[in-house]
Structure 1
Amino acid sequence: MTPVMHPLIQAETLCSMQDDKHLVVIHAGFGETAYANYLKKHLKGTRFVELNTDLSDIKENAAQGGRHPLPAVQAFARRVARLGITAQSHVVVYDENKGANAAARFWWMLKALGHQKVQVLDGGPEEAEQAGFPTDTNIPEVQPATAYTTEQWLLPTASLDEVTRASEKNTVTIIDVREPQRYQGITEPIDLIAGHIPGAINKPYQHNLNTHGRFKEASELRKMYQEFTADTTLVHCGSGVTACHTLLAFAVAGLPIPKLYVGSWSEWSRNNKPMATGTHSKGTS
């Protein structure tokens, strides 16, 4: 049996792999300035993906799947092929927000495509640069690969109907990873309405990191999440992106990955669903 690759890689380890012919480093950006930021400076040899255009299939109405719906699995497979990623590739992905902007989402999607060798750079590109990984402004030449033929996402997701039943019956734990003020309904800077799904508990994704901006130790993350079994837990955020940061934390803890509710609050709050404010009895951690 092939050993499971740890979901994180440290900067020093990445530096030691610079000459590995199978290494593929991905800069995962988000927003209109993402590509310009990539061109200004990135880890040498890094290839670029962008959350809105490469990792989502954004609809005209966010009520249909939320602000960042997943693309069709084969559309993503073709994008992965254009990045030159083969089954032998050792993929390392980073973003500019400790993995929470787009890197964890890319990690989840690549795992859900069936790729095994993928890790998120713990601490981000600054850590690698400080450890001695060279930076560049050039766009690397890439030899396209053969696309994966996966016909459906291989990691579990939850639909709006499934989350509705979970909220009504209270038989499944719904974890909301947004900031407490958004969860409590005090403020909502992105979506139309503030609040949370009735019955959801708040476990902000920022709590996955230590004071240095790296993921907490596996034992500490295990204490945070071991009470939540994968088959009775749904994880969501605002649009299905930062939720992947917590799914990554589950993997770091050595726990099975729960279901991702991709539509998240951005879909729920636009579909005339019940909403709650304030804190839940299980509280925040």
Structure 2
Amino acid sequence: MTGPLISVPELQRVLADVTVLDVRYRMGDPTGRTQHEAGHIPGAAYVDLDLDLAAPAGEGGRHPLPDADVFVEAMRRAGVSNRRPVVAYDDWSGHAAARAWWLLRHHGHQDVRVLDGGWAAWVAAGGEQENGGVSCQPGDFTGEPGSMPVVDAESVTGVDVLIDARAPERYRGEQEPVDPVAGHIPGAVNVPTDRNLDDHGHFRDPHELGELYAGVGASRDATVAAYCGSGVTAAHDVLALEVIGVPAALYPGSWSGWITDPNRPVETG
């Protein structure tokens, strides 16, 4: 496997040789485990985004990065090992799976993919399913954070291109359904995550993604970072940039962390 994405046919060919993580999630809708037990890719372990891929909300935002020990232990419970490839999927256009991909890469795992098209693509292709819980052989994952670039509130405005991955109306400050302050970090440009996908919910081809991000100045010659509302969906833009070979940092605190300090500037429009 090459690149950060894997297609359904590719996964079907290598299924016996990879660890699959089911990261189905909807904000405010804790039914991922129920959906997993109703049907999942054979052998896939369920991973809870709120419990396993984030720390409790606080000054670091609504979904701060998890404590390294908590994350590593969760991955071991899910069967993740250092030398065995991992594939993550969800039913949320790849947003939760991208968070799992980013965290595993950040903690040093070198062979992680996101299932392109997610659960919907697997079902549409007639992929085999199983139901009930999954009992995994514990993995030996021993990762430590630091392998993927991050920025914080002090350094986020110092990058050449800062990408806001939220919907345009939230970026402009016209609507804010989640956080108490509307707007965006001054100087940020808007690339909503849905622009990474085609009409079928798959990532656009590298040429199209390259044009999309070149349009906001993101290139290998620039320092690039991405943020969103809570640090989860921004990983989707980081993943898209990885597809085209543009390294990008993540601002884990994102907008929900930025606004915890009322002295930080806010821009609208």
2: CA distance, partners of 1:255 / 1:84: 30
Output one character per residue of 1:158-204: Cα deviation in whole Å (capped at 9) or x when no partner.
Answer: 111112x53xxxx6321101000001111011111111111111111
Q: CA deviation at 1:268?
A: 1.1
RMSD after superposition: 1.7
Give deviations 1:69-88, integer Å, cap 9, x for gaps. 00122321121111111122
Moved more, 134-143 or 258-267: 134-143
Residue in 2 aligned with 1:176?
A: 164
Q: Across the two proteins, how many residue pairs are aligned to each other?
A: 262
Q: Equivalent residue for 1:134?
A: 128
Compared with structure 1, are the counterparts of its residues 153 and 72 closer, same or farther at alpha carbon in structure 2 (3 Å cutoff)?
farther
TM-score (norm 2): 0.92
Partner SS, residue 160 of structure 1: coil
Secondary structure, in 3 states, of the residue corresponding to 1:29? coil
Say which of 213, 223, 235 aligns to 1:232: 223
Q: 1:159 aligns with which of 152, 158, 162?
A: 152
Task: Give the equivalent residue in structure 2 for 1:16.
Answer: 13
Structure 1's unaligned 5+ residue stretches are 279-285
Q: 1:281 matched to which residue of 2?
A: none
Partner of 2:71: 76
Matched, 1:99 2:94: yes
Q: How far, CA to CA, are the matches of 1:270 and 1:10 in structure 2?
A: 40
Contact 1:55 / 1:70 at 8 angstroms: preserved in 2?
yes
SS of equivalent to 2:183: coil
Matched residue, 1:220: 208
1:188 aligns with 2:186: no
Q: Structure 1 residue 149: deviation in Å?
A: 4.4
1:53 aligned partner:
51
Q: Indicate if the aligned counterparts of 2:101 and 2:113 stay in contact, CA closer than 8 A.
A: yes
Q: Which residue matches 2:191?
A: 203
Gaps of at least 5 residues in structure 2 are none
**Once superposed, which parts of structure 1, at least 4 consecutive aligned residues long, lie more than 4 Å away?**
none
Displacement, 1:229?
4.2
Retained in 2: the 8 A contact 1:240–1:260? yes
1:25 to 20, 27, 35: 20
Using the alignment, how far apart are the partners of 1:147 and 1:173 within structure 2? 34
Equivalence for 1:112: 106
Identity score, percent: 38
Tell me the equivalent position of 2:38: 40
Moved more, 103-112 or 138-147: 138-147
Q: TM-score, normalised by structure 1?
A: 0.87
Q: Residue deviations 1:216-273, cap 9 Å, x none?
A: 00111122224324662221000111100000001111222x1100101111122112
